[in-house]
Amino acid sequence: MVLENIRKLLKMKKICRIRFYPNQSQIHCIDGTLGCCRYIQNKYIEYNTKSYEERNEFISGYDFSKMINKLKKNEPEYEWISKYSTKAISDAILNEEKAYKKFFKTKKGYPKFKSRKKLTKESFFFIKDNIHFDTKSEYIIKIPILGNIRILQKNQLPDIKSITSGRVIKDKNKYYVMFIYDCEPETIELRKNLHVGIDLGVKNYASIYLSDDISFTIHHYKDNPKYKEIKEKIIYYQQVINYKQQINYGKLLNEYLDNHNGEEPSDKYKNIMKGKSYQTSRIRGLRKKISRLYEKLNNIRIDFINKLVHNIVTRIKPQSITIEDLKITEMLQNDNTSKLHELLQESCLYLFRQKLIQKCSEYGIEVRLANKFYASSKICSNCGNKKKDLKLSDRIYHCDCCGYEKDRDMNAAINLCNLKKKYYTIEI
């Protein structure tokens, strides 16, 4: 009850991401702004690394922003930075400062220098000033830094008064504008005393059990024929690239041997030739095709998770949902089989959890996270007996105490649904 009252008083933040189609001058402006942000972030990392080595201290993002402002005014070498948005630059510095704070907290993931060639997705920040939605044109809106841009989904735009800020995103060769806006929390009538347990897996994506004794299984998207077809295409193109690379390398090696009277090249030069053997127009074209196919796979995964979360929340309308507090990073580190490692990464279990928590917060549904060491799969949902010798290959749970048999994942979902308070923590 207290959570519902607090939720009614607070406004929620939502995002709206729409693809737009920039002209050449706007592409030049986007690339310039992103390049400037990368340069400033790299300078911030460089300065902090030297500062720590010399004085054993780090500089805050706010202090570094003031240093950059002084350099722009006083040093001719840095005058070019003045052409770009100060808000975008300040936001880039603050993002890097957050990365440092996360590193200090977890002692993992020291911030790395940003390379244009390695980054596939970048963005910069803009404030809400000078945003204008043209009522005369169906496809034109105005945003800061870029001015008028062309979109095709104007009906999806939020109320202009509710927008607080936004970002311009470059994802490979596609461009998106993202608006962050305030909205009132949505309300739905939840079904009283209805609780749901969800067990995620890699064979079937989810086993779902409702407290009114209804259960069903969601098949994994990797079994989708379209998904399988795309993966087979990727494997085929990779084999073609490998075959062509070997032919190109053989040509380069024969050419070297002819020019050096049969003398064997050094290991260093062999590596250089292997790199050159990939640099052909045919291989670059195949790599672009593979990149587009990977993007399609990612779209299928995200679409599947979004629809699953939406159906669980808005159709079942439970009071609470219980899921396992899976530590995916630890699972991947402790896993010795490459196949299971690939399935865990492909299943996007953490993304599902984040989407579910976000969606439940919109409707006031309680999300319960089972304790890390709670063995939901090993406990009999009928009598409570714990089977210690249960293997991952055992897909049917058979209780040695009461003789109860159930699908392993569904047994875990029932245990999660009926979980006692001392075994879980409330996320919302």
Asked if residue 133 and residue 64 are part of one domain, the reply reads: yes
Show which of 250, 268, 297 is a domain's final residue.
297
Together in a domain, 63 and 160? yes
3-state secondary structure the chain: CHHHHHHHHCCEEEEEEEEECCCHHHHHHHHHHHHHHHHHHHHHHHHHHHHHHHHCCCCCHHHHHHHHHHHHHHCHHHHHHHHCCHHHHHHHHHHHHHHHHHHHHHCCCCCCCCCCCCCCEEEEEEECCCCEECCCCCCEEEECCCEEEEECCHHHCCCHHHEEEEEEEEECCEEEEEEEEEECCCCCCCCCCCEEEEEECCCEEEEEEECCCEEEEEECHHHCHHHHHHHHHHHHHHHHHHHHHHHHHHHHHHHHHHHCCCCCCCHHHHHHHHHHCCCCHHHHHHHHHHHHHHHHHHHHHHHHHHHHHHHHHHHHCCCEEEEECCCHHHHHHHCCCHHHHHHHHHHCHHHHHHHHHHHHHHHCCEEEEECCCCCCCCECCCCCCECCCCCCCCCEEECCCCCCEEEHHHHHHHHHHCCCHHHEEECC
Both 236 and 179 in one domain: the answer is no
What's the pLDDT at 410? Answer: 92
pLDDT tens per residue across span 299-318: 999 999 999 999 999 999 99
332 within a domain of the structure (yes/no): no
Could you tell me if 30 and 87 lie in one domain? Answer: yes
If you average pLDDT over residues 368-388, what whole number do you get? 86
Same domain, 149 and 272: no
- Whether residue 331 lies inside any domain: the answer is no
Percent of the chain with pLDDT over 70: 94
Residue at a domain's end among 297, 331, 360? 297
Of the pLDDT bands very low, low, confident and very high (cuts 50, 70, 90), residue 9 is very low
pLDDT at 154: 85
Residue 80 covered by a domain:
yes
Q: What is the mean pLDDT of residues 335-358?
A: 80
Predicted confidence at residue 413, as pLDDT, reads 92
Q: Is residue 215 part of a domain?
A: no
Out of 244, 274, 297, pick the residue that ends a domain: 297
Domain shared by 30 and 130, yes or no:
yes
User: Could you tell me which residue, 384 or 296, shows the higher pLDDT?
Assistant: 296
Same domain, 127 and 249: no
pLDDT digits (tens, 9 = 90+) for 91-140: 999 999 999 888 888 878 888 898 888 888 999 999 988 899 887 788 89
Is residue 205 included in any domain, yes or no? Answer: no
Task: Identify whether residues 245 and 173 lie together within a single domain.
Answer: no
Give pLDDT tens digits for 73-83. 888 888 899 99
Do 17 and 133 fall within a single domain? yes
**Who has greater pLDDT, 337 or 223?**
223
**pLDDT score of 334 more than 90:** no
Total domains, the chain:
2
Q: What is the pLDDT of residue 12?
A: 78
- 167 plus 231 within the same structural domain: no
For residue 200, tell me if it sits in a domain: no
On the question of pLDDT at 331 being above 70, the answer is no
If asked whether residues 166 and 261 sit together in one domain, one would say no
| pLDDT of res. 315 | 92
Band the pLDDT of 330: cuts 50, 70, 90: low
**Considering the domain boundaries, does residue 412 fall inside one?**
no
Calculate the average pLDDT of the chain: 88
Q: Residue 13's pLDDT band (boundaries 50, 70, 90)?
A: confident
Question: What pLDDT score does 335 carry?
Answer: 55
Task: Determine the pLDDT at residue 1.
Answer: 46
Do residues 155 and 262 share a domain?
no
Assigned domain for 220 exists = no
Q: Which domain holds residue 175?
A: 9-183
Task: Determine which of 2-16, 64-78, 103-117, 345-359 has the lowest per-residue pLDDT on average.
Answer: 2-16
